[in-house]
Amino acid sequence: MSESNETTKPSLYLGFDSSTQSLKATAIDAELAIVYETMINFEADLPEFATEAGVHRGEDGLTVTSPPIMWVAAFDLLLDRMKAEGFEFGRVAALSGSGQQHGSVYWAFDAAISLRQLKPEKSLRQNLEGCFAIGDSPIWMDSSTTYQCRALEAALGGPQAVADLTGSRAYERFTGNQIAKISQVKPEGYNQTERIGLVSSFAASLFLGDHAPIDASDGSGMNLMDIRSRGWADAAVAECGDGLSEKLGDIVLSHACVGTIHSYFVEKYGFGANCRVIAFSGDNPCSLAGLRLEQPGEIAISLGTSDTVFAALSEPKPSASEGHIFASPVDPEGYMALVCYKNGSMTREDIRNRCANGSWDEFNRALAETPVGNGGQIGFYRKEPEITPPILSTGANRFDANNQAVDAFPEDAEIRAVVEGQFLSMRLHGANIGIEASKILATGGASANSAILQVIADVFGVEVYTADQPNSASLGAAYRALHGAACAEAGSFIPFAEALTGEPAMSVAARPDAAAHETYNAMLPRYAELEVGLLQST
């Protein structure tokens, strides 16, 4: 790999991750060694925006938003911190980024002019205040667009037709349905919008100093992109807002270099003028890149604000009942399959607080002391309206070994039930869209919990690995920066695995126990039946 222009030291590749709760940066060298990492927490570091874990919740229990100007302010804080810590911006040959998927940003008319004229004597926030036509961006946790989802499916010939065209049936958090709602309930803001970005392309726009295109992988989470051609699906776009096609810009492949960094960052932070900006993408696509999922059967389970299970795929089989097909972030002809749960870490934390005095040690002791299979008890927990299966009412449903609904479990059984239920569900719904595990890579905050990893190994009956670096999305963004730069230098696409040398640093964290796996094999059909009953009754 080349040396950076600004110094004789070897080049660095920088990845950002603008997630639900935080903004992270990870820098690597060409040998993939991590040389720098830092993080801003929205709630703790930017209290003036009064978010709870990075978000604002509406009174209806379904609307969830975040202020885009907070995300801008987080970049100011992060870059200033990096500068204060002596980060060598001049060595960065290319940067890229990851964003929470589905969230939409509404740039007001003339925002492009402000982006092009960023003034280094001001912060990004001061430069861009007033550039957003909608001050609260709907994010992936929002479930308030059921009406718009049904309308899109009705217009395009039903849920399977929408899935065949866009990779997923209409989902509440998917951006097209969110845009449709904004155009209906906030028409003034919609009409004042010159460009709609995803969180990923919005963040790329800051570095580019212009509107950045949406990449095909994150664009797959909109219900607006033709999953096969990787261009806009005109019939879907026409349904989601008047004049929407003019507001969306282009779609580019995820390895595309979308330009060089704006002079603002050269003057203010010392980036090299030739630093490339590689298209930013979604957090799950970037995690797929960060975990370097290459072989069929290698699947990832990400345990964070959302829990997700995903894998690379060559043949897409979009389903009207569950899961999503996205364009691959590393292979212009490949795909990835993903199942997403809204009830992830925060729901486990809620049960830890209720049943284990807020202590993970107590939570893990309960897991260790309760029997595999929980004596037949099965629970479904929804602190948030759930995506998989789609149940918007919150609460819990508990069943005893005879499938009878019960009001409560003993505290220790409640803890086992929330953990077992989540992984039985992942096995069930993952298999329905072609995700079959021969090896699991666990990532995200809860992947540090070995008691939870053991349940995963036992439910799936395969070894669970963890990476040395749990922030797979920002690491994946850094890998994608390197990959995109290599493609740009070569003037043609280079396979991801060729651009990235060396083996991923992973180690076995849990091995399956054969008897425990048998218990879960027997439990899975009961879990599936109870879930069907629950869906019918809610």
- What is the contact surface with ligand 5FX in residues (CB under 6 A)? 19-20, 100-102, 140, 173, 221, 282-284, 306, 308, 338, 340
| Cβ neighbours of residue 456 closer than 8 Å, sequence gap 6 or more | 301, 423, 440, 442, 464, 510
How far is C-alpha 123 from the chain's CA centre?
27
Nearest distance, CB of residue 293 and ligand 5FX, angstroms = 16
Tokens of 210: 């212009």
Buried b (16+ CB within 10 A) or exposed e, 315-345: ebebbeebbbbbbbbbbeebbbbbbbbbbbb
Nearest distance, CB of residue 219 and ligand 5FX, angstroms = 13
Q: How many Å apart are CA 162 and CA 236, to the nearest integer?
A: 8
- H or E element at residue 44: helix 42-45
4 vs 143, beta carbon nearer ligand 5FX: 143
Tokens of 322: 């569950």
Q: How many Å apart are CA 364 and CA 322, to the nearest integer?
A: 31
Nearest distance, CB of residue 281 and ligand 5FX, angstroms = 11
377 vs 388, beta carbon nearer ligand 5FX: 388
Nearest distance, CB of residue 17 and ligand 5FX, angstroms = 10
Nearest distance, CB of residue 339 and ligand 5FX, angstroms = 9
Nearest distance, CB of residue 458 and ligand 5FX, angstroms = 24
73 vs 309, beta carbon nearer ligand 5FX: 309
Nearest distance, CB of residue 41 and ligand 5FX, angstroms = 15
Q: How many Å apart are CA 471 and CA 99, to the nearest integer?
A: 13
Nearest distance, CB of residue 85 and ligand 5FX, angstroms = 27
Instruction: Note whether 332 and 255 are within 8 A (CB).
Output: yes
19 vs 193, beta carbon nearer ligand 5FX: 19
136 vs 458, beta carbon nearer ligand 5FX: 136
Cα angle for residues 484, 99, 422 (degrees, 5° grid)? 115
State the alpha helices, DSSP H only, in 297-406.
Answer: 345-355, 360-369
Instruction: Note whether 142 and 100 are within 8 A (CB).
Output: no
Q: How many Å apart are CA 222 and CA 73, to the nearest integer?
A: 26
